[in-house]
Structure 1
Amino acid sequence: MDSERTRTLAGVALIAGGACTVLGFVTAEVLYPGYSAADQTISALGAEDAPGASQAVFNAAMILGGVLLVGVAAALHRLFDSRAFTGVTAVTGVGVAGVGVFPAHTGAPHFVAAFVAFGGIGVTALVAGSVLRAPFRYVSVALGGLELVAFVLFVALGDGTPLGIGGLERWVAYLGLLWVTAFGGFFLAAPAGEQPPA
């Protein structure tokens, strides 16, 4: 497969994964009467005490988003000479899918998967900043850094802010998803025949 087609497929997969995840969150919330975006975590949408429709939508969205990210890692392997970039992207994808495979009520497996997903997306964005050309490298580093700061605050403060545990968690999740979709746009916007690396 030539590099231009690989780049295009990676861009489409990133945008599709980001959109699928955001719409999965929104749809699952609508299907969960009484759900509080401030007082409940995002993962509560897929837990055993959530309505069946909410569980199905949320967990399926996470699994699909994770599988697409693992596929993107395979594309990155073809496009970049960076094992770190490929590896951290693949591990993050496994973590994202793991959130859906192991819903919140499973305990430790879910928390490990969520930690890998949240931490991994920020680290992936930072690593991307080391191999991508400007100006997107600066966008990548900024979004990755902000996502990791939000993640640390989420772990440290939990529900101890006016945003509540769910609101603060959304800062983490949506900063990561913003980077994912922006990265997809970066691939698709590259002129024909031009490689995305620096």
Structure 2
Amino acid sequence: MHSDRTRKLGYFAGLITPLWLTLGVALAGALYPGYSHVDQAMSLLGADGAPTRVISPLINNFPLGVLFLWFGTSVLLSFRHLWARVSGLLIILHGLGSFGTGYFACDAGCAPANPSASQNLHNLAGLIMAFSLLLAGALWVWLGRRLLASPGFSWFSLLCTLAALGALPLMAGALESGHGFGLYQRVNYGASLLWVAGLALVLLRRPAT
């Protein structure tokens, strides 16, 4: 009984991740004079020299890391199927990446000609975050039918995965033009977080086995 309750709390952790990020980034952005959610990366909120350098990781990266670790562990413990467990491990890895991006701040501006070690580690943690959650969602395009008997969730997983992938070239183009990066980054990450919340909701509604 205790184990079931702990897993369900983990599902709730996954369910609230999009809301947590939205509120956290909105608050940090409001405390950063002149910050643009459309043009600027979320990492700038925690960059060296930023007015929100200290508060941004405390309200975004670190608590989100805890939520992802909890949710990923719940997914891992909810299934015996190998690839479902792999998806749980990928979500856990995403949570660890969230801690990494918060602990290792990017340099001022986040795009220096000569990046520091902290900038390089921040970038590495960011890549781990991006691709771990993308792969986890892609696995459930197949697992949704096989384990949940839910074609609807399989299609939902596919749409979220394609939306996250489709935003990547737009992000690259925005880096060159200097406009729209923040918007496309939020589409990319938002699609993945929407998938996390969708999986959490499906698991909360799933009959106990």
- The reply to whether TM is greater than 0.5 is yes
Question: 5+ residue gaps in structure 2?
Answer: 108-117
Aligned to 2:111: none
Number of aligned residue pairs: give it: 190
1:124/1:144 contact within 8 Å kept: no
Aligned to 2:134: 122
Give the whole-Å Cα distance in 2 for the aligned partners of 1:142 and 1:128: 11
Q: Describe how 1:144-183 pairs up with structure 2 within 5 A.
A: 144-154=161-171, 156-160=172-176, 164-183=180-199
Q: CA deviation at 1:21?
A: 1.7
AA matched with 1:48: D
TM-score using structure 2 length? 0.80
- SS of 1:49's partner is coil
Q: CA deviation at 1:58?
A: 2.1
2:163/2:187 contact within 8 Å kept: no
Give the whole-Å Cα distance in 2 for the aligned partners of 1:56 and 1:20: 18
Aligned to 2:114: none
Q: Which of 147, 159, 172 lines up with 1:142 in the alignment? A: 159
- Change in Cα spacing, 1:67 to 1:33, as seen in structure 2 (3 Å) is same
- Which structure has more relative contact order (CA 8 Å, sep 6+)? It is 1
Q: CA deviation at 1:86?
A: 2.4
2:65/2:96 contact within 8 Å kept: yes
2:11/2:74 contact within 8 Å kept: no
Aligned-residue CA RMSD (Å): 2.2
Aligned to 2:17: 17
Question: 5+ residue gaps in structure 1?
Answer: none
Identity among equivalent positions (%) equals 26
